[in-house]
A and B are shown apart, each in its own frame.
Chain A
Amino acid sequence: MWAGSQERAIVAAMVDKRMTEDEVVSELKDGMTIGIGGWGSRRKPMSLVRAILRSDLKDLTVVAYGGPDIGLLCAAGKVRRAVYGFVSLDSIPLEPHFRQARQSGAIEFTELDEGAFYLGLLAASHRVPFYPTRAGLGSDMLTMNPELRTVTSPYDDGEELVAIPAFKLDAALIHMNRADAAGNGQFLGPDLYFDDLFAMAADKTYLSTEKIVPTESLLDEGSVHTLRIQRIFTDGVVEAPRGAHFTECPPDYGRDEAFQREYAATARDPEAWEAFRATYLEAPSHADYLKALEARS
């Protein structure tokens, strides 16, 4: 049905968007609003996050179904505002570095219902100012976010709904199992999460991937339904094997729970944080990070 590995089609030459993590970060600026794909401690573009950590970038607004991406960026003082429905490490329910940032008042925050969050991404993707939802009525979501407005149905029912504003993103960072050099991305795990919407909601989207494959090999490992990131929405492709470490990236690898526990423990211990930072976060490249991981065992 589709021309796959058995029956190669001729592929027209496509734009080559390959770049390094540091080249991605060089395109970001202070004060930008940056969306990060994945969910909790799942398929996060961690090699790109670490590249931000070792840069001079500051005052970022970070928009994510949050996990260690938000935690690390908070711990490194990169975040002016976090926009989230939750921030969790999944197997460790509360993200300790994010908690510290909230409890010390170090960051501004926009906390939303996690379904409403989806609508903010969807509105930005579709270039409409908002999407309406019932979510938030009656709860403190509106108290916590006084800038949120409600809207009245123009039809006979006249129902009042919350208008979730479009999350316009300057840039989005996502991590895919496979991609081609032109920026077509493929997820092979059980859930795409909202990565396609992050890509569409952003002016620029940078995609890291476990492996760059030729376009004609994209159907070798997954069905056509797994090709959910289209190159018209991507601007850079970074090959980063184990690029989501220590978050999970099935089927390529699971979460590194031992490493995650070590990361979480650094929130209680400044010396441990210094050691963790020096060993893993100051590694000058993703390749050096992988070497530091090898030295662990």
Chain B
Amino acid sequence: MSSIAEATIDEICVVACAEAFRGDGEILCNPIGTVPIVGGRLARATFEPDLVYTDTVAVLPANNFPVGDPDAPKVVESWVPYRTVFDIVWSGKRHVLMGASQIDQWGNQNIAAIGDFRQPKAQLLGLRGAPGNLVNHTTSYWVPNHSTRSFVASVDVVSGPGYDRMRALGSPSNRFHEVRRVVSNLGVFDFQTDDNRMRIASLHPGVTVEQVVEATAFELADTDEVAETRLPSEEELHLIREVLDPGGARKAEFR
């Protein structure tokens, strides 16, 4: 399987993002960022055909089409302006895979600001939709630059609440909360532990536990026997390279 040996880190991350949507069925697959978008479209083109996904403007396209090409032909199956996106968020029929400037061991995510929010050192995007996403439907994260600056002991602002916050909130407010997985350039992480602390689910080929521990400012669970992240199949490599991202836009997120 020579082509599998040739899979590069961006392609491995695309597949790890696609895997976040496995089992989701007929819901809105809403990845944000290039690697997540290619991953979401890959999931839909392969093992999760019932997903619907957005063109990131205002429609749901029913066909496979490349990222970064506004003129790509689309088979439109529905209209989803922003107002409808919020309606879908609140309905729960959505799984968002979004970025995190900071994330902690409970899955608390920050995309709002670095420093004190009252007068931040760096104003980032703002809360955006993170507060509503987390309490209404499944969420996953993509962090292309795994380091102690992104995997932090404590986030400066909680945009998307993690498991400790939701435990404190209790039932019934926490009933729709799920942080499914965190994909970074080093591995895949989830919260399948007794107390929902982040653990290593798998590491990408060539990445060591020591390397990840070094790049993470909190203690990760399950560092003993670590699996390797699944490699892309030949079909997946073909779809990524020839159909979904022929221009290689996904590679720009690794810097």
A positions within 8 Å CB-CB of B: 39, 84-88, 93-94, 98-99, 102-105, 111-116, 118, 133-141, 143-144, 157, 159-160, 190-194
What is the chain A residue whose CB lies nearest that of B171?
A159
Residue from the list A86, A133, A157 in contact with B132, Cβ < 8 A: A133
Report if A135-B132 is in contact (Cβ < 8 Å); known contacts: A115-B90, A140-B157, A194-B83: yes
What is the chain A residue whose CB lies nearest that of B79?
A190
Are A85 and B128 in contact (CB-based, < 8 A)? yes
User: Is B73 in contact with chain A by the CB < 8 A criterion?
Assistant: no
In chain B, residues 126-142, which have Cβ atoms closer than 8 Å to a Cβ of chain A? 126-132, 134-136
Cα(A193)–Cα(B131), bound, Å: 20
Interface residue stretch chosen among B159-167, B180-188, B196-204: B159-167
Cα(A134)–Cα(B86), bound, Å: 12
Are B127 and A114 in contact (CB-based, < 8 A)? yes
What is the chain A residue whose CB lies nearest that of B114?
A103
Are A141 and B131 in contact (CB-based, < 8 A)? yes
Would you give the shortest CB distance from B70 to chain A, in whole angstroms? 9
Report if A94-B124 is in contact (Cβ < 8 Å); known contacts: A103-B119, A133-B90, A137-B169: yes
15 A–B contacts from the bound complex (CB under 8 Å): A85-B126, A102-B113, A103-B120, A105-B118, A113-B128, A114-B127, A114-B132, A133-B132, A139-B134, A139-B159, A140-B112, A140-B127, A144-B117, A190-B79, A194-B83
Are A85 and B129 in contact (CB-based, < 8 A)? yes
Cα(A114)–Cα(B125), bound, Å: 11
What is the chain A residue whose CB lies nearest that of B172?
A159
Contacts of B86 in A (CB 8 A): 114-115, 118
Are B136 and A103 in contact (CB-based, < 8 A)? no
Report if A140-B117 is in contact (Cβ < 8 Å); known contacts: A118-B83, A134-B132, A191-B81: yes
User: Is B255 in contact with chain A by the CB < 8 A criterion?
Assistant: no
Would you give the shortest CB distance from B110 to chain A, in whole angstroms? 9
User: Is B16 in contact with chain A by the CB < 8 A criterion?
Assistant: no
Would you give the shortest CB distance from A155 to chain B, in whole angstroms? 12
User: Is B82 in contact with chain A by the CB < 8 A criterion?
Assistant: yes
In chain B, residues 143-173, which have Cβ atoms closer than 8 Å to a Cβ of chain A? 157-161, 165-166, 168-169, 172-173
Would you give the shortest CB distance from B94 to chain A, in whole angstroms? 11
Report if A113-B81 is in contact (Cβ < 8 Å); known contacts: A86-B126, A137-B169, A159-B172: no
Cα(A26)–Cα(B94), bound, Å: 45
In chain B, residues 85-137, which have Cβ atoms closer than 8 Å to a Cβ of chain A? 86, 89-90, 112-113, 117-132, 134-136
What is the chain A residue whose CB lies nearest that of B135?
A134
**Chain A CB within 10 Å — which of B81, B120, B121, B123 has the most?**
B123
Contacts of B177 in A (CB 8 A): 138
What is the chain A residue whose CB lies nearest that of B169?
A138
Cα(A139)–Cα(B136), bound, Å: 13
Cα(A190)–Cα(B86), bound, Å: 16
Cα(A296)–Cα(B173), bound, Å: 55
Are B127 and A134 in contact (CB-based, < 8 A)? no
- Count: A-B pairs, CB below 8 Å: 129
Interface SS of A by simple majority: loop
Report if A113-B122 is in contact (Cβ < 8 Å); known contacts: A138-B169, A193-B82: no
Are B123 and A103 in contact (CB-based, < 8 A)? yes
**Chain A CB within 10 Å — which of B86, B125, B169, B173 has the most?**
B86
Would you give the shortest CB distance from B148 to chain A, in whole angstroms? 22
Query: Given A138-B173, A159-B173, 7 more contacts at CB 8 Å?
Result: A39-B82, A111-B126, A113-B129, A115-B86, A139-B159, A140-B159, A143-B158
Would you give the shortest CB distance from B76 to chain A, in whole angstroms? 10
**Chain A CB within 10 Å — which of B81, B129, B131, B158 has the most?**
B131
Residue from the list A98, A102, A190 in contact with B81, Cβ < 8 A: A190
Are A116 and B131 in contact (CB-based, < 8 A)? yes
Would you give the shortest CB distance from B99 to chain A, in whole angstroms? 10
Report if A140-B129 is in contact (Cβ < 8 Å); known contacts: A103-B123, A118-B83, A191-B58: no
Closest 6 CB pairs of A and B: A135-B132, A138-B161, A190-B58, A139-B131, A102-B123, A86-B126
User: Is B243 in contact with chain A by the CB < 8 A criterion?
Assistant: no
Residue from the list A99, A111, A116 in contact with B112, Cβ < 8 A: A111
User: Is B1 in contact with chain A by the CB < 8 A criterion?
Assistant: no
Are A114 and B119 in contact (CB-based, < 8 A)? no
Cα(A136)–Cα(B130), bound, Å: 9
Contacts of A112 in B (CB 8 A): 127
Report if A113-B131 is in contact (Cβ < 8 Å); known contacts: A39-B82, A140-B112: yes
Residue from the list B125, B160, B168, B176 in contact with A139, Cβ < 8 A: B160
Are A141 and B119 in contact (CB-based, < 8 A)? no
Would you give the shortest CB distance from B150 to chain A, in whole angstroms? 16
Contacts of A134 in B (CB 8 A): 90, 132, 135-136, 173, 176
User: Is B59 in contact with chain A by the CB < 8 A criterion?
Assistant: yes
Cα(A99)–Cα(B90), bound, Å: 30
Residue from the list A93, A104, A136, A194 in contact with B125, Cβ < 8 A: A93
Contacts of A86 in B (CB 8 A): 125-128
